[in-house]
Amino acid sequence: AKIVQVSPASSSPTLTALGRDGKTNGIFFRTITSDALQGVAAAKYAVDKGFKKLSIIHVNNDFGVNMVAEFSRAYKALGGTIVSDTPYNEKQSSYASEVTAAMAGEPDGLYLVSTPVDGATVARTWISQGGVQKFLLNDGMNSPDFIESVGADYLKEAYGTSSGTSPTASTEYFTKNYKEFSGIEPTNPAADRSYDAGAIVGLAIAIAGSEDPAKIKDAMYKAVDPTGTPIFAGKEEFAKALGLIKDGKPIRYEGVIGPVAFDKYGDITGPFRLWKIVDGKVATDGEMTTDDVNALQAKLQ
């Protein structure tokens, strides 16, 4: 139907490949970085945190397979050793056999690429079978539910990566106001990216001045025009944007995650947040800037 879609959480590199092959018709966008980049950032973070030998357990789907492939390429190039790589199928009642397989080879820790519910089951099994309590986690595991289910006492050496932010006035507005009007914690996975996706779509519809999908697609780029007047999150800012649009003037929405620019495949590049679990809560441990990630990616190619 060629209707514009924007995802705040679909991070598979396959979507970029589909774009390159002309199969997304230029109508697919996302406000999260590709896992091709997250895998590289996670590999560097793992090495920096002393993970020299890792076992990997990952969900056996497009997301998990691609994430691990990109991570493994970078991690090995940086001197790391993968002692086992075990896929699992979702929603099993037990993951004992997968954990047993992953524990071979005396790893320094476990790289768990999963979702909060299954991930908690895997982590609890790993811990109960005597696995070393040192974890590397993907972005979706940045979840209060995962921490509560596993137990903070077992996650004192748990680290992870997520798409980061380059703070703007939108970031401040979002942090202060989001929970009040949504009921959702602003730190929840993809909350910030969902807000930005909605804001950009809304502004694009206003710019298009039409329900024509082709015009809305073109307007997605115009909503983040680098030559435009900066627009931030919040009612007053959006009202200002509508006025500028009415006058035919360019705008640049600078989002909660920072100033966003889409490439021709609808992808963004951006920084990565490095985090760890401290006293049962996710705390920022550092950042890899866009330039850091791009430089590392170039070095590894």
Give the pLDDT mean for 121-145.
96
| 175 and 150 share one domain | no
Query: First vs last Cα of the chain: how many Å apart?
Result: 37
60 secondary structure, DSSP code:
S
- In the chain, the DSSP E strands lie at 5-7, 28-30, 53-59, 81-88, 109-113, 135-137, 158-163, 229-231, 251-255, 258-259, 272-278, 281-288
Give the pLDDT of residue 293.
Answer: 81
| 120 and 247 share one domain | no
Cα–Cα distance between 113 and 87 in angstroms, integer? Answer: 9
| 159 and 188 share one domain | no
DSSP 133-152: S-EEE-GGG--HHHHHHH-G
Domain count, the chain: 2
Give the pLDDT mean for 66-93.
94
Question: Is the residue at 12 inside a domain?
Answer: no
Encoded tokens for 34: 């590709």
Of 66-70, 93-97, 202-206, the poorest mean pLDDT is in: 66-70
| 44 and 161 share one domain | yes
Give the pLDDT of residue 228.
Answer: 97
Q: Are residues 67 and 38 in contact, defined by beta-carbon separation less than 8 angstroms?
A: yes
Is the Cα torsion angle 128, 134, 136, 140 positive or negative in sign? positive
Segments in 213-272 forming alpha helices (H): 213-222, 235-246
CB-hemisphere CA count at 13 Å for 47?
15
Give the pLDDT of residue 34.
Answer: 85
> Is residue 8 pLDDT above 80, yes or no?
yes
- pTM for this structure? 0.77
Question: Is the residue at 225 inside a domain?
Answer: yes
CA 2 from centroid of its chain's CA atoms: 25
> Is residue 81 pLDDT above 80, yes or no?
yes
Give the pLDDT mean for 172-191.
94
| 212 and 101 share one domain | no
Residue of 33 and 42 predicted with greater confidence: 42
How sure is the predictor about 211, in pLDDT bands with cuts at 50, 70 and 90? Answer: very high
Q: How far is CA 75 from CA 67, 104, 266, in A?
A: 12, 19, 27
Q: How far is CA 229 from CA 13, 52, 131, 144, 266, in A?
A: 32, 47, 53, 37, 22
Give the pLDDT mean for 66-80.
93
Work out the mean pLDDT of the chain and round it to a whole number. 94
Give the pLDDT mean for 139-149.
93
| 94 and 159 share one domain | yes
Question: Is the residue at 40 inside a domain?
Answer: yes
Q: What percent of the chain has pLDDT over 90?
A: 79
Give the pLDDT of residue 269.
Answer: 79
Q: Are residues 290 and 263 in contact, defined by beta-carbon separation less than 8 angstroms?
A: no
| 56 and 148 share one domain | yes
Cα–Cα distance between 201 and 216 in angstroms, integer? Answer: 8
Question: Is the residue at 84 inside a domain?
Answer: yes
How do residues 242-298 score in pLDDT, each as one tens digit?
A: 999 999 999 999 999 988 889 889 998 778 999 999 999 999 999 998 778 878 877
Give the pLDDT mean for 131-143.
95
Q: How far is CA 162 from CA 61, 114, 135, 256, in A?
A: 19, 13, 15, 14
Question: Is the residue at 263 inside a domain?
Answer: no
> Is residue 54 pLDDT above 80, yes or no?
yes
Give the pLDDT of residue 260.
Answer: 84
| 144 and 290 share one domain | yes
| 191 and 295 share one domain | no
How sure is the predictor about 238, in pLDDT bands with cuts at 50, 70 and 90? Answer: very high
**Nearest CA-CA partner of 136 in 34, 269, 39:** 39
Of 10-14, 21-25, 175-179, 248-252, the poorest mean pLDDT is in: 10-14
> Is residue 182 pLDDT above 80, yes or no?
yes
Boundaries of domain holding 240: 167-256
Give the pLDDT mean for 46-75.
94
Cα–Cα distance between 188 and 201 in angstroms, integer? Answer: 21
Query: In sequence order, what are the beta bridge partners of 53?
Result: 81
> Is residue 229 pLDDT above 90, yes or no?
yes
> Is residue 163 pLDDT above 80, yes or no?
yes
| 158 and 172 share one domain | no
Give the pLDDT of residue 6.
Answer: 97
Element at 99 (helix H, strand E): helix 96-102
How sure is the predictor about 11, in pLDDT bands with cuts at 50, 70 and 90? Answer: confident
Give the pLDDT of residue 164.
Answer: 85
Radius of gyration of the chain (CA): 20
| 212 and 128 share one domain | no
Give the angle 273-277-280 at the CA atoms, nearest 5°. 135
